[in-house]
Structure 1
């Protein structure tokens, strides 16, 4: 029977705090958020949860078997890349972990326990993957920015308290080579499938709020201050600038930490001990966290605030191979 509404044993959080103090790697803002995790889970069998979390931290059960592998020469969609992602929550799944979709938290929980196969893709994701390289080239043409590639980055690599998070960006913008910015940024590309009719689609008029956890996660994990959210369609493209928001990150990190250490890690621990599935089901998460609605509201606000800095519109009257570029140059170069 699911265990809802009771308090998590305080000693589990004490173990997490002790680990962070021992390693001296936890930044003060993360310490503040993690030390105030909302306690929402527990049971009459409190000692097992307590011991499970403590043992998990000590044994490193929160991390995948590949946590020590170098990501320097890693290529995306390779077996090694999949292995590093398998035992972690990655930026593209942050929305699921936060409860943005009805079944997202439970499906992600099952996937991380090996009870469900990872999402294999659909027509929309295949379309996006196939168009990504061309879209990046278009972005480089429009902006003159130099885009570099890295397949995967582990958050605070080597630190058990944070290493369960990771991200795969579409590109990193090199500031020194681009000669446009003081500090480099991140490129995130979206190629909407337009419900099966990509040839008639147009760029979104704003950043969809459900991409904000991914965007802010990329900014935090790569320690960058801005991200260009590039929406490419057959009929044009748009660039939105998203800025790092540490308050937002603190909130979502708080919720995801609870989800990882309170739902996934103890359930994985019981599975590894060979215990019955009913025991594991006790840690199945609720569809939404108490803070989900607040995070969604903040996501919408940040999405609205993300300025449009470049618009590239395909105009049939000018011919299929020509574009009318609406450059917001003064604003773009003042950023």
Structure 2
């Protein structure tokens, strides 16, 4: 695996105006045409026993898809580092359909819950009324996104291991 990596990647937001600057990312590295994200699994407090994943956990998919969108890159190399059992690098391709759905859910949560609660707190009001109450439609949509993320990790290609 030969890549050019830029270190000290700064935090970058999705857009310049306030309607999109609430969402940002800071990957671990910039590759020539992609991004690098490094994970060091904790393995319930025993990282020395951890082996690289066979398949990455699907809960990383929203993060890496968001990073690709924020930095306008077409792939992420997700590196799973373990101290005693080597490393594995998975390549994830940008999935715009996944991101459109994820962004919609994130924006809804941000504008319907986070912003109003923050404003209420600044004014000394109770913020409990802004706690999310997931509707059946939102639950269905979240479950669909979880299934989609599992498909994405199954499609990830192992590009390097050592």
| TM, length-normalised to structure 2 | 0.91
- SS at structure 1 position matched to 2:44: helix
Tell me the residue number matched to 1:218. 67
Q: How far 1:224 moved relative to its partner?
A: 0.2
Q: Which structure has more helix as a fraction of its residues?
A: 1
Tell me the residue number matched to 1:248. 98
Q: How far 1:199 moved relative to its partner?
A: 1.9
Q: Which structure has more strand as a fraction of its residues?
A: 2
Tell me the residue number matched to 1:206. 55
Deviations 1:28-74 (A, max 9, x none): xxxxxxxxxxxxxxxxxxxxxxxxxxxxxxxxxxxxxxxxxxxxxxx
Task: Supply the distance in 1 between the matched residues of 2:20 and 2:120 (Cα, whole angstroms).
Answer: 22
Q: How far 1:286 moved relative to its partner?
A: 2.8
Say yes or no: does 1:303 pair with 2:127.
no
Task: Supply the distance in 1 between the matched residues of 2:63 and 2:97 (Cα, whole angstroms).
Answer: 15
Greater length-normalized contact order (CA 8 Å, ≥ 6 residues apart): 2
Deviations 1:288-335 (A, max 9, x none): 8332101100000001001111121xxxxxxxxxxxxxxxxxxxxxxx
- The two structures, once aligned, show a CA RMSD in angstroms of 1.4
Say yes or no: does 1:285 pair with 2:118.
no
Deviations 1:95-146 (A, max 9, x none): xxxxxxxxxxxxxxxxxxxxxxxxxxxxxxxxxxxxxxxxxxxxxxxx2211
The one of 15, 31, 43 equivalent to 1:156 is 15
Say yes or no: does 1:268 pair with 2:118.
yes
Say yes or no: does 1:257 pair with 2:107.
yes
Higher radius of gyration, 1 or 2: 1
Q: How far 1:151 moved relative to its partner?
A: 2.5
Say yes or no: does 1:191 pair with 2:40.
yes
Q: How far 1:168 moved relative to its partner?
A: 1.3
| Cα distance change on mapping 1:271 and 1:198 into 2, 3 Å | closer
Q: How far 1:185 moved relative to its partner?
A: 0.5
| Structure 1 range deviating more: 282-291 or 223-232 | 282-291
Task: Supply the distance in 1 between the matched residues of 2:149 and 2:52 (Cα, whole angstroms).
Answer: 19
Q: How many residues align?
A: 157
Please list every run of at least 4 consecutive aligned residues from structure 1 whose deviation after the TM superposition is greater than 6 angstroms. Answer: none
**Where does structure 1 lack aligned partners over 5 or more consecutive residues?**
1-142, 176-183, 313-335
The one of 70, 79, 84 equivalent to 1:230 is 79
Matches for 1:12-31 after TM superposition, within 5 Å: none
